[in-house]
Structure 1
Amino acid sequence: METVESLGKVLKTLMPELTLVSEIGRRQCEGCGNEVVVYEAPILGGPDKGKMVQYTRGIPLPDNKIGQGCICWENEQAREAKRDMQERRIKRIVDRYSTVNPDLEAASFESFETSSPILQESLKLARSYVDGFQLTAPMNLLFAGLYGLGKSHLTYSICKALRVKGFTAVFMSVPKLLTIIKSTYNKDSDFTEAELLDVLSKVDLLALDDIGAEKARREEQGETWATEKLFEIIDGRSGRSTVYTTNLRADELATKVGQRNFSRMMMNTKPFRFEGEDYRIKNKRF
C-alpha cells in the first residue's frame, strides 16, 4: 500500500502535470487474497493524451477496467511464458525427429487410391476422423493389413489435414522412433529421452506407424526394452488421440508388443482392416 502511495507522490513531484493521479479503489483478489490498490492517471502524450487509465502496481489495465495487480497476474504471465516455451520445444523436437519417408511427403486424401470398396471405406473413415477431431473427445484408430495397401499414406494424410486445422500432429515410424530414443542416451544428444517422451505424450495427435515391426531382444527379466518403451509411449497418450498402423493381425500384434501394450492400445480404439493388392507394385512386371 505504501509503495503505491509513494509512487504517486514521486510521479507528481517529477511531473507536475500528473495532478490527477489518484487512488480510486481497493479490493481483495479472489485468487490469492492479496489487497489490490487501483489508481488512475492521464496519458501524457499521443493521440490518447489526457485519457484516464487505471493502474495497479504500475501495471496498466486493459480497456480501463480494474484487473489483477497481484501475484495472480504474475502467475498467469509465468504460465503463459511456460506454455510458449513448451510449444517452441515441441516444434524443435518434432522438426528434428520427423520420420516421414520422402515418398509420403506428398501423401494426401486426394492422392489416395480407392481401387476397392474397402479402400473407399477407409478413406471415408479417415476424413470423418479429421472432421470430428476434438481434444475434449479423444479417439484412436488402428489401421491393420498387409504391406502396400495405403495405411501409412492415409495416416500421414490425417496428420497433414489436422495440422491445417491448427492441431499438432506427429507421424513417427515405430522402428525409427525406438532408434531415436536410443540415440538420446548419447551424452552429446540435444534432447533427453524424458524430453522426447514428454513431447510425444502432449501432441494433439500421435501416429505410430508400423507398430510391431520393431526388432526386439528378449531380456533376462522376460520383457524387452522395446516393449517397455512402447508401454511408456502408449500409456503417456492416455486422454489424447493416437493412430496406429500395423501389418500384423490382432493375435500376432498382441504377441509382438505384449498383452499389456495391446490392451492399452485397444482402449477407445476403432480398428479397421485394409485388404487388397499392394498398389505400389500393382501392374508392374519384370
Structure 2
Amino acid sequence: MISLRGGLFKGLPDAQAPCPYGECEGDGWVVDPETRTAAPCRCRPQRISASRTSTLTREIPERYRHIGINSPEVEELAARAPAQVRTARRYCETIDSQLESGAGLGFHGDPGTGKTMLAFMISRAALEAGKTIAVYSFPRLLASIRDSYRDDATDGYGAFLDKLVEVDLLQLDDLGAERPTEWAAEQIFLVIDGRYEAKRSVVYTTNLALPGGEGAGAETLVERIGHRVSSRLAEMSPPVPLFGADHRTQLAPDLP
C-alpha cells in the first residue's frame, strides 16, 4: 500500500502540507505584517477537514496508484465500455462540482470488468483536487466499525461514524460482498444515511446485479443490503453497469 500522506499525489489535503495556493506558511493563516493581523487562508477548510479525518483509511493500492483518465488500462476499457468510461472520466473532470453537490457513482458488474479501477481513478482525482477521501472494502468497513468499540480504539464509535460522514468522498468496494447481519445492516444504513443527509459523495463497486437490468437473475444489491440503503444510494450514486467477461484472466501468461 502507498500512503497518501507521503505526498504521492499533488494537492493532497494534509493538515501539515504546504499551502496549495502559496498564500500562507502552511498553518492556514495569512498574516499581514503591517497591521499585525491574521485572516483564514483559502486552504484552512481543507486542513481542518484533513485533520478531522486523518485516522480514516486513505490509501490507494500500488496496483491502482498510477491510474488516471488517460492511463492505458483506462483506454483499453474505453474500447469495451465507452459509455461507462466516458461517465467516469466526466466525473473526474468535474470533480469539484460533483463533490460539492454530493453526487457519486455506483459501478455494478462481474469480477474483473474494471469497476475498482474506475473507482480508484475517481478517488485519485479527488485527492489531486485537494479533497479528503476514505477507502474501505465492505468487510473492512464493518471490521473497522467493530474495532471502534474497543477501549484502546483511536476513535470511539461515534467519532468514527462522524468522520465517515464528514470526509469529502467515501469509496466503498465490494458493497454487499457478504450478507450483513442485522447489526451490520444498521451500521451501513447509518453511514449512508448520514452522507445522504449531509450531501456527501459515495462511489461504490459491487458484483451484485441491477434490478431488472444487466445481471438480472442473480441476487440484486437491494436484496442483499436492503431497501433503505439501496434507495438512498440510487439517488446519490447512479448505477453504472459493467457486466461481461473477467478481463483479468487475459493477463495470464502462456506457460510451456
What is the TM-score of this pair, normalised by structure 1?
0.63
Q: Within the alignment, does 1:105 sit opposite 2:72 as a pair?
A: no
1:230 to 176, 184, 188: 188
Other structure's SS at 1:201 match: helix
Query: Which one has the largest radius of gyration?
Result: 1
Distance 1:152 1:83, change over 3 A: closer
Q: Within the alignment, does 1:250 sit opposite 2:218 as a pair?
A: no
Distance 1:82 1:268, change over 3 A: closer
Distance in 1 (alpha carbons) for counterparts of 2:67 and 2:163? 24
Q: Read off the aligned partner of 1:242 and give its amino acid letter.
A: V
Distance in 2 (alpha carbons) for counterparts of 1:156 and 1:116? 16
Other structure's SS at 1:148 match: coil
| CA drift at 1:98 | 4.1
Q: How does 1:88-237 map to 2 (within 5 A)?
A: 88-90=51-53, 92-94=54-56, 97-98=57-58, 100-109=60-69, 110-113=71-74, 114-115=76-77, 117-133=79-95, 134=97, 135-217=99-181, 224-237=182-195
Q: Read off the aligned partner of 2:73 and give its amino acid letter.
A: F
Cα contact 1:108–1:153 (8 A) shared by 2: no
Distance 1:83 1:124, change over 3 A: closer
Distance 1:266 1:277, change over 3 A: same
| CA drift at 1:170 | 2.3
Q: How does 1:63-74 map to 2 (within 5 A)?
A: none
Cα contact 2:201–2:236 (8 A) shared by 1: no
Q: Percent same amino acid at aligned positions?
A: 30
Distance in 1 (alpha carbons) for counterparts of 2:102 and 2:116? 21
Cα contact 2:179–2:225 (8 A) shared by 1: no
Listed one character per residue, the Cα deviations across residues 106-153 of structure 1 (whole Å, up to 9, x for unaligned) are 433314242564423222211100222324322121110000111111
Other structure's SS at 2:110 match: coil
Q: Read off the aligned partner of 1:123 and give its amino acid letter.
A: V
Cα contact 2:104–2:201 (8 A) shared by 1: yes
Cα contact 2:50–2:132 (8 A) shared by 1: no
Q: How many residue pairs align between the two structures?
A: 206
Distance 1:214 1:153, change over 3 A: same
Distance 1:107 1:116, change over 3 A: closer
What is the TM-score of this pair, normalised by structure 2?
0.70
Gaps of 5+ in 1: 1-47, 54-59, 63-75, 218-223
Distance 1:193 1:99, change over 3 A: farther
Cα contact 2:110–2:207 (8 A) shared by 1: yes
Distance 1:195 1:83, change over 3 A: farther
RMSD over aligned Cα atoms: 2.9
Distance 1:100 1:160, change over 3 A: closer
Which of the pair has the greater relative contact order for Cα pairs under 8 Å at 6+ separation?
2
Q: Read off the aligned partner of 2:63 and give its amino acid letter.
A: D
Other structure's SS at 1:237 match: helix
Cα contact 2:119–2:171 (8 A) shared by 1: yes
Distance in 2 (alpha carbons) for counterparts of 1:205 and 1:85? 15
Listed one character per residue, the Cα deviations across residues 82-101 of structure 1 (whole Å, up to 9, x for unaligned) are 985553131x213xx34654
Listed one character per residue, the Cα deviations across residues 55-85 of structure 1 (whole Å, up to 9, x for unaligned) are xxxxx557xxxxxxxxxxxxx98xx999855
| CA drift at 1:103 | 2.9
1:277 matched residue in structure 2: 245
Other structure's SS at 2:248 match: coil
Distance 1:136 1:116, change over 3 A: closer
